[in-house]
Amino acid sequence: MTNVPELFGSMVFNDAVMQQRLPQDTYQRLRQTMKDGKHLDISIANEVAAAMKDWAVEKGATHFTHWFQPLTGVTAEKHDSFISTDKNGGVMMYFSGKELVKGESDASSFPSGGLRATFEARGYTAWDPTSYAFIKDNTLCIPTAFCSWGGEALDTKTPLLRSMETIDRQAMRILRLFGNNDVMHVRPTVGPEQEYFLVDKAVYEKRPDLIFTGRTLFGARPPKGQELDDHYYGTIKPRVAAFMAEVDEELWKLGIPDKTRHNEAAPAQHELAPIFSTANIAADYNQLTMEIIKKVARRHDLVCLLHEKPFEGVNGSGKHNNWSLSTDTGVNLFEPGDTPYQNAQFLLFLCAVVKAVDLYPEMLRISVATAGNDHRLGANEAPPAIISIFLGDELEEILDAIEGEKSYSAKEKTTMRIGVHTLPRFPKDTTDRNRTSPLAFTGNKFEFRSLGSSASISDVNTVLNTAVADVLCGFADRLESAGDFNAMLHQLICETIREHRRVIFNGNGYDQSWIAEAEKRGLPNLKDTPSALNHLLDEKNVALFERHKVLSRTELESRYEIMTENYIKVVRIEAETMLRMARQGIMPAVVRFKGETAESALRQRTFMANVDVTPETELLGTLSDYANELHSAVRDLEKELASAVSCRSITEKVKLYSGSVIPAMRRVRAAADALELICAKDVWPYPSYSDLLFSEE
Ligand code: ADP
Ligand code: MG
């Protein structure tokens, strides 16, 4: 039996270890730095580094690394050993404060967009002391931010940390106005639910598309998918259960509070979720979680697929980003309170989210925009590409009553007055069941469901924090200068509901009628990554991020470039993989099967002149038709890909990939999938969807 409390955090240089191993005053000063985000004095850093090294070496570590999150979306590390030579030619284990707080890194091999040209190639990594150091693979990992020498963010963590400072500052202004004088800081809290697929390694290795692109580019639908609903929350199979148990152990060792695990809707699909943490720590944890589930799966001869849509026609994988705001005194600001004032404060924060989402839907959409997620959004298992917010009927009724148009209770016929009336208690469950909304209020937090399974959670939370902070800033400005606080509060809430209610939608987001309705309301529907990215540099977005010093125009431009290039690369790799599989695998198999069918008919005729070969003849006819279609579709894809590859302008190029290459790929797939269903199973060169989806047994 695993002793969980003993195991938990055993590989983390956490508060308990610090307290135990650092001199009292060093510990206190480090704690202060962590709390206020202040600069760490080098003498303190030296003491912390020495203690960290001793601890790590005792645990078997030989190396250390700054662990960071460049704009590739995955983590990066460069290991250095603790070894240092002494005068006598011997070695000793050494780690300095300088090495702890700052590392130099060659930035030129990481995506930097335009930043590489304008700034020095060198970058540096700087310790984020709010995220504990940990040991992974005998290496002490120091969570760091990654910047260019000029200070430009080259990673996803730096803007997230900046956005956390911003929302802290603005939310504190509001809290002070409500008389919360004991609160010192407000932090966003995040709990991401991670979905993934598991497939058998031997089957996986026969699919070049999975190996090169993470998703299947071919595959006819299996006769049985998820229609019987027998997988969701189903009994976990022994091999998967063993995998999950090992994942939990690995995560717990790293202090990651993994809590929930279950089967998801699709066959071979699963989910795990931790208990929530402060946003930047949650982002670190989620990166580690993705790394660990992939690694542990291999040990069980399984492969973990984190792609948003590994199988067409089967549910894709998302990462529900549960987000809230919490005070350092432990109060959740989205928890409706018991007194009229607590209620008013809750409603003001709620209104801030509604307004932020209505003002910056494009940025939220962009924060989840990848080539992979394009296949998932709007595909009837994930929210549409239209950003709206779900509050639930009950809460919307309350807002209506406050706005004064309708009465809250049919019986009482009263309108609600802020600061005077207490909110009725609404059961959490009723607000939790709308699974079709991109952003749902679930009783005491917001669940953003558009995020894809393979993405870092940093960008979405950077956008949420910054946009909400911006609105809170406007609210605070007005409240601070108001003569009558209560009157202004009431006015702000009414005004926000009136002006921004178009973004509230409690209906079925999967319903086709919502698309037309959303258009009437003037809500953007940015169907794919290129159309979303078109808005990244809109003046209002640049102004938002510059105003709060979260991202500069230059940093946003570099992100535009990186995201666009990434989209182009992904689609190009997919198209090339598809062409190889069609030309080298599928076409030869079809040609062979056609030949066999023709030969069989011919041989039978030779044997017996009047034998009925209708099945062979008809099969041959159908095979011929689809084979012709496949042949022509492949030629067409080659042509479209060639023009996209040779196009020089990045804005034109991305349009060619989304507008011509992707449709050409769809045509190739349709022909190949039709052929798969009429060819003998033993001639088909690749494992089928059934082989893949029911392989984890
Ligand atoms: P589900 O959405 O499947 O019903 P839960 O409601 O149990 O799941 O929670 C999902 C995630 O939300 C968990 O990771 C949980 O820790 C997280 N969560 C709960 N409360 C908060 C909060 N105040 N802030 C951020 N995340 C939260
Ligand atoms: Mg959820």
Report which ligand 1 atom has the smallest distance to the Cα of 322. 26
Q: Which ligand is nearest to the CA of 461?
A: 1
Distance, in Å, from the CA atom of 423 to the CA atom of 582, rounded to the nearest integer, reads 62
Taking a C-beta distance cutoff of 8 angstroms, is the pair 346, 335 a contact?
A: yes
Residue of higher predicted confidence among 114 and 217: 217
Q: Residues lining ligand 1, judged by CB closer than 6 Å?
A: 189-191, 193, 273-276, 322-324, 332, 432, 444-445, 447
What pLDDT was estimated at residue 470? 98
> Both tokens of residue 697?
């047994």
Q: Is the pLDDT of residue 430 over 60?
A: no
- What pLDDT, in 10s, does the model give residues 539-553? 999 999 999 999 999
- pLDDT category of residue 228 using cuts at 50, 70 and 90: low
Distance, in Å, from the CA atom of 529 to the CA atom of 308, rounded to the nearest integer, reads 14
Taking a C-beta distance cutoff of 8 angstroms, is the pair 156, 68 a contact?
A: no
What pLDDT was estimated at residue 411? 46
* Complete domains list, the chain, with CATH: 4-154 (3.10.20.70), 164-551 (3.30.590.10), 566-693 (1.20.120.1560)
- What pLDDT, in 10s, does the model give residues 257-268? 999 888 888 889
The residues that bridge with 141 in the sheet, in sequence order, are 65, 134
- What pLDDT, in 10s, does the model give residues 373-411? 999 998 777 888 999 999 988 888 888 888 775 555 544
**For residue 449, how far is its CA from the centre of ligand 2 (angstroms)?**
8
Q: Which ligand is nearest to the CA of 323?
A: 1
Taking a C-beta distance cutoff of 8 angstroms, is the pair 125, 158 a contact?
A: no
- What pLDDT, in 10s, does the model give residues 435-471? 789 999 998 999 999 999 999 999 999 999 999 999 9
Report which ligand 1 atom has the smallest distance to the Cα of 326. 23
Residue nearest to atom 13 of ligand 1 (CA): 191
Q: Is the pLDDT of residue 112 over 80?
A: no
- pLDDT category of residue 511 using cuts at 50, 70 and 90: confident
Q: Which ligand is nearest to the CA of 187?
A: 1
What pLDDT was estimated at residue 436? 86
Distance, in Å, from the CA atom of 344 to the CA atom of 497, rounded to the nearest integer, reads 14
Backbone phi and psi for residue 321, each to the nearest 5 degrees, phi listed first: -100, 100
Report which ligand 1 atom has the smallest distance to the Cα of 334. 23
**For residue 429, how far is its CA from the centre of ligand 2 (angstroms)?**
12
> Both tokens of residue 600?
């069989």
> Both tokens of residue 452?
């894809």
What pLDDT was estimated at residue 422? 54
**For residue 322, how far is its CA from the centre of ligand 1 (angstroms)?**
6
**For residue 446, how far is its CA from the centre of ligand 2 (angstroms)?**
10
Taking a C-beta distance cutoff of 8 angstroms, is the pair 627, 679 a contact?
A: no
Q: Is the pLDDT of residue 226 over 80?
A: no
Q: What is the mean pLDDT of residues 610-625?
A: 95
**For residue 579, how far is its CA from the centre of ligand 2 (angstroms)?**
38
Q: What is the mean pLDDT of residues 274-301?
A: 97
What pLDDT was estimated at residue 515? 93
What pLDDT was estimated at residue 124? 86
Tell me which DSSP letter residue 682 carries: G
Q: What is the mean pLDDT of residues 409-418?
A: 52
Q: How many helices (H) and strands (E) are present in the chain, helices listed first?
A: 27, 18
- What pLDDT, in 10s, does the model give residues 190-202? 999 999 999 999 9
- pLDDT category of residue 674 using cuts at 50, 70 and 90: very high
Q: What is the rounded radius of gyration, in angstroms, for the C-alpha atoms of the chain?
A: 28
> Both tokens of residue 461?
């939370």
Residue nearest to atom 17 of ligand 1 (CA): 191
- Where on the phi/psi map is residue 141: left (φ > 0), alpha (ψ -120 to 50), or beta? beta
Q: What percent of the chain has pLDDT over 90?
A: 73
Q: What is the mean pLDDT of residues 598-616?
A: 93
b/e per residue 173-211 (b: at least 16 CB within 10 A): bbbebbebeebebbbbbbbbbbbbbbbbeebbeebbbbe
Lowest mean pLDDT among 26-40, 137-151, 205-219, 422-436: 422-436
Helix (H) or strand (E) holding 672: helix 662-678
**For residue 440, how far is its CA from the centre of ligand 2 (angstroms)?**
9
Ligand 1 pocket mutation pick from 280, 322, 434, 460 by most atoms within 8 angstroms of CB: 322
> Both tokens of residue 308?
């948003």
Q: Kindly report the CA angle at 580 between 656 and 72, in degrees rounded to 5?
A: 60
User: At residue 19, what is the residue type?
Assistant: Q
What pLDDT was estimated at residue 566? 95
Ligand 1 pocket mutation pick from 256, 323, 445, 460 by most atoms within 8 angstroms of CB: 445
**For residue 394, how far is its CA from the centre of ligand 2 (angstroms)?**
20
Alpha-carbon separation of residue 401 from 221, 394, 409, 653, 670 (angstroms) = 49, 11, 8, 51, 52
Q: What is the mean pLDDT of residues 524-530?
A: 95
Taking a C-beta distance cutoff of 8 angstroms, is the pair 384, 528 a contact?
A: no
Report which ligand 1 atom has the smallest distance to the Cα of 273. 14
- pTM score above 0.75: yes
3-state secondary structure of 681: helix
Distance, in Å, from the CA atom of 355 to the CA atom of 266, rounded to the nearest integer, reads 35
Q: Is the pLDDT of residue 419 over 80?
A: no
Distance, in Å, from the CA atom of 608 to the CA atom of 587, rounded to the nearest integer, reads 32
What pLDDT was estimated at residue 229? 64
> Both tokens of residue 381?
């298992």
**For residue 446, how far is its CA from the centre of ligand 1 (angstroms)?**
9
What pLDDT was estimated at residue 372? 97
DSSP assignment of 77-144 equals E--EESEEE-TTS-EEE---HHHHHEEEEEGGGS--TTHHHHS-SEEEEEE-TTS--EEETTEEEEEE
> Both tokens of residue 177?
């106005």
Q: Is the pLDDT of residue 116 over 60?
A: no
Backbone phi and psi for residue 63, each to the nearest 5 degrees, phi listed first: -125, 165
Ligand 1 pocket mutation pick from 233, 271, 275, 276 by most atoms within 8 angstroms of CB: 276
Which protein residues have a CB closer than 5 Å to ligand 2 (ion)?
320
Report which ligand 1 atom has the smallest distance to the Cα of 274. 14
Distance, in Å, from the CA atom of 562 to the CA atom of 564, rounded to the nearest integer, reads 5
Residue of higher predicted confidence among 107 and 482: 482
Closest CA to 262 of 271, 251, 249, 250: 271
- pLDDT category of residue 421 using cuts at 50, 70 and 90: low
Report which ligand 1 atom has the smallest distance to the Cα of 432. 4
Taking a C-beta distance cutoff of 8 angstroms, is the pair 297, 197 a contact?
A: no
**For residue 524, how far is its CA from the centre of ligand 2 (angstroms)?**
24
Q: What percent of the chain has pLDDT over 70?
A: 92
**For residue 453, how far is its CA from the centre of ligand 1 (angstroms)?**
16
- What pLDDT, in 10s, does the model give residues 301-349? 999 999 999 999 999 999 999 999 999 999 999 998 777 777 889 999 9
Q: Is the pLDDT of residue 424 over 60?
A: no
Lowest mean pLDDT among 117-131, 151-165, 424-438: 424-438
